[in-house]
């Protein structure tokens, strides 16, 4: 079918044309469709057969513009091809943490996937102060597996280079290059300065040569490193979870980039939640300390779990002779290289986390954790703390010896 923007009303007849849907649904006349796209970019529909709640799918369609802005911000709808490929590749590596793809239609820029029925967007749960006991274990597994198995540490050199070429995503990378690494530090018209943020807090970002040089280094790494296939937008709004399960959705920004960008994105959002929860917990009549402690502990467990699982995969595949170093070097040099590699990914993680935090305060797109605080003084305090944490993380990213030292600094500054 040639491309057309689908409506809820047109969806059942369209789904009836897709062969895989013949098994999923028995009565296309009885489909209830709800449009739920709370995201900024695309259209998302939940489709359920009346009287058969287990017969349900999620349909996501990309349109040739940015949904939240409209047709004045054109954006390739072929981002859906990237998303489908990433969902399939990440799903093969981590089926328990990625929604299954049931059908994909490149002409229509659309995917039909597993509907996550009992899961909620993680950011919304964190805003409500919910504890997710398995979150950091699951996210660290997802990060270790997706980043290791798509890297040169695992793939054969020719396969890796072909994978990089096949995953190019220049238009969406450009959005990140502009909105995360350029505009916030430039007084760009796309920036959205929060109502209470003092001008001197903005100047600390925009008239600060060491900080801008450090951001330049992170931008250069983002643009040139091809370490692994990244999700590319791994904030807490791209995770759907409950107490038992965790799924990573929305990989339309996927490309081959530096590993620390995904790890840092997730940890940045835990730190943003941390600064927001001082006020949110008090506002709900609770002592903020226990929940904030859980958020920081989750950042520790995410990094430490990622590092442990990633190194275990690396050693396992080194032993079977398929790895990067192979059998020709002795075990000691392999371990020295591994330790240096993890220090590099750790410094990148902190640098990228900082850029993600700064852009969420002064840039175009906000996080509801902070921007949803209606008390302006409380919101401003959270914003100033987020910027202070980010500045310290990026400037000292090579000096931190452990994630424990990082969260101690976050606790002191936030």
Footprint on this chain of ligand ADP (rule: CB under 6 A): 36-42, 44, 58, 60, 99, 113-116, 121, 249-250, 252
Residue 278: contacted member of Mg ion, ligand ADP, none (CB under 5 to 8 Å, by partner type): none
Nearer to Mg ion, 174 or 286 (CB): 174
Nearer to ligand ADP, 242 or 281 (CB): 242
Residue 39 interacts with Mg ion (CB under 5 A): yes or no: yes
Residue 121: contacted member of Mg ion, ligand ADP, none (CB under 5 to 8 Å, by partner type): ligand ADP
Q: HEC string of the chain? A: CCCCCCCCCCHHHHHHCCCCHHHHCCCHHHEEEEECCCCCCCEEEEEEECCEEEEEEEEEECCCEECCCEEEEECCCCHHHHHHHHHHHHHHHCHHHCCCEEEEECCCCEEEEECCCCCEEHHHHHHCCCCCCCHHHHHHHHHHHHHHHCCCCCCCHHHHHHHHHHCCCHHHHHHHHHHCCCHHHCCCCCCCCCCCCCHHHHHHHHCCHHHHHHHHHHHHHHHHCCCEEECCCCCHHHEEECCCCEEECCCCCCEEECCHHHHHHHHHHHHHHHHHHHHHHHHCCCCHHHHHHHHHHHHHHHHHHHHHHHHHHHHHHHHCCCCCCCCCCCHHHHHHHHHHHHHHHHHHHHHHHHHHHHHHHHCCCCCHHHHCCCCHHHHHHHHHHHHHHHHHHHHCCCCCCCHHHHHHHHHHHC
**Residue at shortest CB range from ligand ADP:** 39
Q: How far is the CB of 68 from Mg ion (least distance, A)?
A: 10
Q: How far is the CB of 203 from ligand ADP (least distance, A)?
A: 32
Nearer to ligand ADP, 237 or 257 (CB): 237
Which of these segments, 31-39, 106-114, 173-181, 261-269, binds Mg ion (CB under 5 A)?
31-39
Residue 58: contacted member of ligand ADP, Mg ion, none (CB under 5 to 8 Å, by partner type): ligand ADP
Residue 250 interacts with Mg ion (CB under 5 A): yes or no: yes
Which of 41, 153, 221, 272 binds Mg ion (CB under 5 A)? It is 41
Nearer to Mg ion, 49 or 176 (CB): 176
Residue 358: contacted member of Mg ion, ligand ADP, none (CB under 5 to 8 Å, by partner type): none
Nearer to ligand ADP, 231 or 388 (CB): 231
Interacting residues with Mg ion (CB under 5 A): 39, 41, 250, 252
């Amino acid at each position: 079918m040639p491309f057309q923007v689908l409506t809820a009303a047109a969806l059942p007849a369209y789904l009836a044309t897709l062969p895989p849907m013949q098994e999923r649904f028995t009565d296309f006349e009885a489909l209830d469709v709800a449009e739920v796209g709370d995201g900024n970019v695309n259209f998302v529909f939940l489709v359920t057969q009346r009287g058969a709640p287990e017969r349900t799918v999620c349909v996501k369609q990309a349109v040739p513009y940015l949904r939240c802005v409209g047709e004045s911000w054109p954006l390739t709808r072929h981002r859906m091809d990237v998303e489908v490929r990433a969902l399939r590749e990440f799903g093969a590596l981590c089926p328990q943490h990625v929604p299954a793809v049931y059908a994909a239609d490149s002409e229509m820029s659309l995917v039909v996937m597993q509907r996550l029925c009992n899961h909620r967007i993680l950011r919304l749960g964190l805003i409500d102060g919910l504890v997710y006991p398995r979150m950091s274990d699951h996210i660290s597994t997802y990060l270790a597996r997706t980043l290791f198995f798509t890297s040169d540490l695992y793939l054969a050199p020719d396969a890796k280079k072909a994978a990089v070429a096949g995953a190019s995503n220049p238009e969406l990378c450009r959005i990140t290059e502009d909105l995360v690494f350029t505009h916030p530090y430039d007084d760009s018209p796309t920036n959205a300065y929060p109502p209470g943020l003092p001008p001197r807090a903005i100047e600390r970002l925009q008239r600060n040569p060491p900080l801008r040089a450090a951001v330049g280094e992170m931008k250069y790494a983002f643009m040139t490193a091809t370490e692994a296939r990244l999700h590319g937008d791994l904030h807490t709004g791209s995770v759907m979870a409950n107490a038992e399960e965790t799924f990573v959705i929305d990989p339309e920004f996927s490309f081959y980039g530096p590993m620390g960008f995904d790890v840092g994105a997730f940890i940045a959002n835990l730190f943003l939640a941390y600064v927001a929860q001082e006020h949110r917990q008090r506002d709900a009549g609770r002592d903020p300390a226990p929940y904030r402690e859980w958020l920081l502990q989750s950042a520790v467990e995410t990094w430490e779990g990622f590092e442990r699982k990633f190194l275990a995969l690396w050693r396992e595949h080194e032993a079977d002779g398929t790895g990067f170093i192979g059998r020709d070097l002795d075990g000691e040099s392999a371990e020295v290289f591994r330790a240096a590699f993890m220090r590099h990914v750790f410094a990148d993680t902190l640098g990228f986390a900082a850029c993600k935090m700064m852009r969420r305060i002064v840039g175009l797109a906000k996080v509801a954790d902070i921007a949803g605080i209606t008390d302006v003084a409380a919101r401003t305090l959270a914003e100033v703390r987020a910027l202070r944490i980010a500045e310290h993380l990026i400037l000292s990213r090579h000096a931190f010896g452990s994630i424990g030292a990082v969260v101690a600094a976050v606790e002191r500054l936030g």
